[in-house]
Amino acid sequence: MKNQMIIGDDPKYRQICVQGICSLEIRKPGNYDGGVYSCKAKNSHGEAVVSCKLEVKQPAVAADAEKK
């Protein structure tokens, strides 16, 4: 989920799970991709949720180029 919205099968995101380790790949990230991402795991023993905040920052390349 991103900001409590299910991202589902959105082609912008690639969900990878290898040997029980899952990750999320964001294709061509930009400023609009910042937010709180959450992952929920659920089985017969219960459920767990983990969240993280992603901040996208632009590189300071333009300022360096002006100095040259």
| Residue 9: predicted pLDDT | 87
Number of domains into which the chain is organized? 1
Instruction: Report residue 14 as tokens.
Output: 């690639």
20 lies in some domain = yes
| Residue 47: predicted pLDDT | 97
Residue 38, Cβ neighbours under 10 Å: how many?
15
Contact 7, 41 (CB under 8 A): no
Domain that holds residue 51: 13-67
Q: What is the pLDDT of residues 15-60, one digit of tens each?
A: 999 998 989 999 999 999 999 999 999 999 999 999 999 999 888 8
Find the helix or strand (DSSP H, E) in which 48 lies: strand 46-54
18 lies in some domain = yes
d(C-alpha 53, C-alpha 30), whole Å = 15
Look at the pTM and tell me if it is higher than 0.85. Answer: no
| Residue 26: predicted pLDDT | 95
One-letter amino acid for residue 13 of the chain: Y
